[in-house]
A and B are shown apart, each in its own frame.
Chain A
Amino acid sequence: MQPADLPQAKVSIQDLSLQYADGTESLRGISFDIPANQITVLFGPAGGGKSTLLRCLNRLNDLTEVKKLDGKILIEGENILDPKTDVIALRRRVGMVFARPVVLPFSIRSNLTYGLELAGERRKSRLTEAVERSLSQAALWEEVKDRLDDPAIALSGGQQQRLCLARVLALQPAIILLDEPTSGLDPISTGKVEASLQELKKTYTVVLVPHSVQQAARTADFAAFFLQGELVEYAHGEEAFTNPKDQRTEDYVTGRFG
């Protein structure tokens, strides 16, 4: 169940099932490919397993107690669920932006260099370059370039979320995961984030969990509809929202459904 003309896959998810320690089956036999340099949107009602899937993609689910995890996630052919995977390297390659912006208790600059410094980067020129590049990519450079050493917490909510995006971009990952990144933002900040994503997909593979169907429709190149741990439909963006094949998808996108 995959669009026939899907561009080259960056990530291939194969029969992925996940059950949390309390018995909740949050993913049931999920299989689909995420194409490179596209925005793939995972949408559907709360509890569908979207966040769970994102957290599998960079093994952040290692922090949670999981009873059962089956299947494969191939990133450029390598199964990242393999216990031998270098998760640190994986997380540098697969960055994540969370729903609530969490800036670290440092300056704006240190927030951006944090990941690189952890990776052992000490060259000043590289760090400075990364700060400017990532802030520009996240459409924040103009607003903060004169106060890079101010505490990041002093930024507005919208700026903080763009800083979180920039912090991920500073590491130059291959894949960017965003879990409802604009759920707490005003429409203007939301617009800026969405505009950045359109730019970013030229270089990165973007996986977005939108906070609304409208946002899903606005941003999706490809869209996967999740319902109670199952992948119901996976299609081209326009198709999923204008001409869904599955009744449940249609009910959801037309608002006839929680």
Chain B
Amino acid sequence: MKRFFSIDRDIVQRLGFSFLTIMAVVTVVPIISVVIYIIVQGGPAVSWEFISAMPHDGMRAGGILPAIIGTIYLTIGTAVFSVPLGIAAAIYLSEYAPDNRLTQLIRVAIINLAGIPSVVYGLFGLGLFVLFLKFGTSILAASLTLSIMTLPVIISASEEALRSVPQPFRTVSISLGGTRWQTIRRIVLPEALPGILTGVILGLERAAGETAPILFTGAAFFLPRLPGSVFDATMALPYHLFVISTQVPEMPIQIQYGTALVLIVFVLGMNIIATVVRSRARAKRQW
């Protein structure tokens, strides 16, 4: 009897293992197929001219330079507002805030903010930055809107990273005559930096790829020249992709996929930078 049982269990185990392997493969297949499909479809369209020239012939020819530049501007603009603010908020929550109801409420609010659909942020940005603060449809308004959307991601990830720094480091630093701020600046922040950076890049990546938040706040359908100030509207890769895929008749399909490819490379590129920076930081500390 005993033997049968153990064979049974063995089979069940193998079945379970195979099942999980299959599931893992199944989840990877669509991701890889999408990437391959876009490379195959869009690859031929991507050339030096494509990424360095202005569009012409109703965007059916030429390049997508203003959309690339616009996305870079928006990403930088988002970083300028959301990174310092997000890290500061995380430091406050992790290192200074008393553990009371108010702090818990703030945390819950941040978690829920991360779940709000991006189009809602777009509407909020339209109301607050474009209309009320009179920034107009502009890089400034769009960056601020994207910042608000990005903040919860940066705050949560940074707080998590700060909290994972062992408590005894802080106690020792204080016992050696360190102030709280000295302790944070010299020990806690450097230790948490790789985690913070991951959060920052994840957040900015999302901002770079979003259409809805910039739709009403800063994105332009077509501009004959590059934006000259933060109060100008701008073209941007995700919105441009939407425009040329749905709004322009007789659009050559390679241009659509070429644009998608550039967007993916941009976002994945940020991911790779994050990974490299993180592993460099690890290697440098040697533990």
* Contact surface of A with B, Cβ cutoff 8 Å: 58, 60, 63, 88-89, 91-92, 95-96, 98, 100, 102, 104-105, 114-115, 118-119, 151, 153, 164, 167-168, 171
- Is A63 a contact of B171 with CB atoms below 8 Å? yes
- Is A168 a contact of B287 with CB atoms below 8 Å? no
Cα distance A48–B285 in the bound complex, in angstroms: 40
Cα distance A58–B177 in the bound complex, in angstroms: 10
**Residues on the B chain within 8 Å of A60, using CB:** 171, 174-175
Cα distance A95–B175 in the bound complex, in angstroms: 7
- Is B177 a contact of A104 with CB atoms below 8 Å? no
User: Which one of A98, A151, A164, A171 contacts B177 once the chains associate, using CB atoms below 8 Å?
Assistant: A171
4 nearest CB pairs, A to B: A115-B176, A92-B177, A102-B168, A91-B177
Task: Please classify the interface of chain B as helix (H, G, I), strand (E, B), loop, or mixed, using the class held by over half of its residues.
Answer: helix
Most A CB within 10 A of own CB, among B169, B177, B186: B177
**Residues on the B chain within 8 Å of A118, using CB:** 173, 176-179, 182, 186
Q: How far is the CB of B165 from chain A (nearest CB, A)?
A: 9
User: Which one of A88, A96, A98, A105 contacts B287 once the chains associate, using CB atoms below 8 Å?
Assistant: A105
**Residues on the A chain within 8 Å of B285, using CB:** 105, 151
User: Which one of A92, A104, A119 contacts B172 once the chains associate, using CB atoms below 8 Å?
Assistant: A104
| Known A105-B287, A151-B286: A96·B175 in contact at CB below 8 Å | yes
Q: How far is the CB of A72 from chain B (nearest CB, A)?
A: 22
Q: How far is the CB of A95 from chain B (nearest CB, A)?
A: 7
Q: How far is the CB of A59 from chain B (nearest CB, A)?
A: 10
Most A CB within 10 A of own CB, among B178, B187, B287: B178
Q: How many chain B residues touch the partner (CB < 8 A)? A: 20
Most A CB within 10 A of own CB, among B175, B187, B191: B175
- Is A63 a contact of B174 with CB atoms below 8 Å? yes
**Residues on the A chain within 8 Å of B286, using CB:** 151
Cα distance A10–B245 in the bound complex, in angstroms: 82
**Residues on the A chain within 8 Å of B174, using CB:** 60, 63, 91
| Known A98-B172, A104-B169, A105-B169: A119·B287 in contact at CB below 8 Å | no
**Residues on the A chain within 8 Å of B187, using CB:** 104-105
- For chain B residues 151-206, which have a beta carbon within 8 Å of chain A? 166, 168-169, 171-179, 182, 186-187, 190-191
- Is B191 a contact of A171 with CB atoms below 8 Å? no
| Known A105-B187, A105-B287: A119·B177 in contact at CB below 8 Å | yes
**Residues on the A chain within 8 Å of B176, using CB:** 91-92, 95, 114-115, 118, 167-168, 171
Q: How far is the CB of B244 from chain A (nearest CB, A)?
A: 50
Most B CB within 10 A of own CB, among A114, A164, A171: A114
- Is B175 a contact of A58 with CB atoms below 8 Å? yes
Cα distance A167–B172 in the bound complex, in angstroms: 10
Cα distance A58–B175 in the bound complex, in angstroms: 8
- Is B177 a contact of A89 with CB atoms below 8 Å? yes
Extra pairs beyond A89-B177, A91-B177 (4, CB < 8 Å): A88-B177, A96-B175, A102-B169, A104-B187
| Closest A residue, CB atoms, query B286 | A151
Cα distance A95–B176 in the bound complex, in angstroms: 7
**Residues on the A chain within 8 Å of B177, using CB:** 88-89, 91-92, 115, 118-119, 171
Cα distance A138–B30 in the bound complex, in angstroms: 61
9 contacts between A and B (CB under 8 A): A60-B171, A60-B175, A95-B175, A96-B175, A102-B166, A104-B187, A153-B287, A168-B176, A171-B176
Cα distance A166–B257 in the bound complex, in angstroms: 63
**Residues on the A chain within 8 Å of B287, using CB:** 105, 151, 153
**Residues on the A chain within 8 Å of B182, using CB:** 118
Q: How far is the CB of B97 from chain A (nearest CB, A)?
A: 15
Cα distance A98–B166 in the bound complex, in angstroms: 15
**Residues on the B chain within 8 Å of A104, using CB:** 169, 172-173, 187
- For chain B residues 101-145, which have a beta carbon within 8 Å of chain A? none
